[in-house]
Amino acid sequence: MIADFRAALAALILAFAPTSVAAQQPDKPKVVATFTILADLARQIGGDRVTVETIVGANADAHSFAPKPADAKILAQARLVVVNGLGFDAWSKRLIEAAGYKGETLIASAGVTPRRAEDDHDHGHAEVDPHAWQDPANVKIYVANLRDALSRVDPAGRESYAARADAYGKQLDALKQEIGGALSAIPKERRRIVTTHEAFGYFGQAFDVAFIAAQGVSGEGDVSAKRLGALIRQIRAEKIPAVFLENLNDPRLAERLAKETGAKIGGALHADALTPAGGVAPTYLDMMRSNAKAIADALR
Ligand code: ZN
């Protein structure tokens, strides 16, 4: 009788086993990040315990992203959605609703002191600058938020997330020291740069570099002839040493500025998106080092 029962139970377990075990790893939480920088941070803190997917991919512009209905599929089975907040990826709200996602959404920038955008050149209204990740000290706040959110959705991983967050926090401290050291070697009056969109305000605050932007914080729209003329006069009058291209923008603007002012065109700066693996900025730490080197090289 007992043997029969065991056999029946074994048959039952076998019958259910393939669907619950073989296909995927049901206990590995799936994290979906709105863009590549957040995805990298989620991987750094999540490690092997999580899978991470990105809505807006490498070298793509998350400001102007317009989700299509098919993009909602990425949220299926997600256990945590990570957004930047500060108005950067506000489109994610519609996508989350469209997907019927009911799980936790983490605003990674929660607790960061927001910086007011300059943005007085085109439409006069002040906005919050969303690019908080450009200061490694802010990323320590992102990392603490990620550690806590991952621990909520996967309590068994709490110790692992805490250890990884600690270790990564030390790398962020070292990064800030390293960049600060490299840039402080450049005379303060030379630490002035024109960029295409206003993405480096937090970097500028952190490392005492003045960034003058041709466009607002979203990097969208054309630069008016008036704005371009004003920038050219400012670069000449203040002898601003360098103009930078970005991975997201039309390079013609910076080329024209450089041609008409004699300012040097710096190498590519990466503001909002990492490069694919094999590029110069496949991780956040690589991106910051690559930007700092490009800036130091142009100003030297
Ligand atoms: Zn941006």
Q: List, for residues 267-289, the tens digit of each pLDDT value.
A: 889 999 999 999 999 999 999 99
pLDDT for the residue numbered 231: 81
Pairing of strands 128-129, 115-116: antiparallel
pLDDT for the residue numbered 10: 52
Task: Report the separation in Å between the CA atom of 272 and the middle of ligand 1, taken as the mean of its atom positions.
Answer: 5
**Worst-scoring range by mean pLDDT, 64-78, 171-185, 200-214, 235-249?**
235-249
Domain spans, the chain: 30-177, 183-299
Task: Report the separation in Å between the CA atom of 154 and the middle of ligand 1, taken as the mean of its atom positions.
Answer: 32
When mean pLDDT is compared over 16-25, 65-74, 138-147, the highest value belongs to: 138-147
Task: Report the separation in Å between the CA atom of 243 and the middle of ligand 1, taken as the mean of its atom positions.
Answer: 17
Q: List, for residues 98-140, the tens digit of each pLDDT value.
A: 999 999 999 999 999 999 987 544 444 558 999 999 999 999 9
Which tokens belong to 217? Answer: 């914080």
Q: List, for residues 173-206, the tens digit of each pLDDT value.
A: 999 999 999 999 999 999 999 887 789 999 999 9
- Is 1's pLDDT higher than 70? no
pLDDT for the residue numbered 20: 40
**What average pLDDT score do residues 74-93 get?**
96
Q: List the alpha helices (DSSP H) in 51-129.
A: 92-99
Percent of the chain with pLDDT over 90: 64
Q: How far is 269 from 246, CA to CA, in rounded Å?
A: 5
* Closest C-alpha to 209, from 283, 135, 127, 113: 135
**What average pLDDT score do residues 230-244 get?**
87
Q: Do domains 30-177 and 183-299 have the same CATH topology?
A: yes
- Is 23's pLDDT higher than 80? no
CB atoms within 10 A of CB 144: 17
More confident residue, 245 or 53: 53
CB atoms within 10 A of CB 180: 15
Task: Report the separation in Å between the CA atom of 22 and the middle of ligand 1, taken as the mean of its atom positions.
Answer: 42
- Is 33's pLDDT higher than 50? yes
Task: Report the separation in Å between the CA atom of 104 and the middle of ligand 1, taken as the mean of its atom positions.
Answer: 25
- Is 12's pLDDT higher than 60? no
Phi, psi (deg, nearest 5) at residue 53? -125, 155
Task: Report the separation in Å between the CA atom of 63 and the middle of ligand 1, taken as the mean of its atom positions.
Answer: 6
Task: Report the separation in Å between the CA atom of 217 and the middle of ligand 1, taken as the mean of its atom positions.
Answer: 6
* Closest C-alpha to 255, from 218, 291, 214, 296: 214
pTM of the predicted model, to two decimals?
0.85
Question: How does the average pLDDT of the chain come out, rounded?
Answer: 87
Phi, psi (deg, nearest 5) at residue 226? -65, -45
- Is 144's pLDDT higher than 60? yes
Task: Report the separation in Å between the CA atom of 56 and the middle of ligand 1, taken as the mean of its atom positions.
Answer: 13
CATH, range 30-177: 3.40.50.1980
Q: How far is 229 from 247, CA to CA, in rounded Å?
A: 24
CATH, range 183-299: 3.40.50.1980
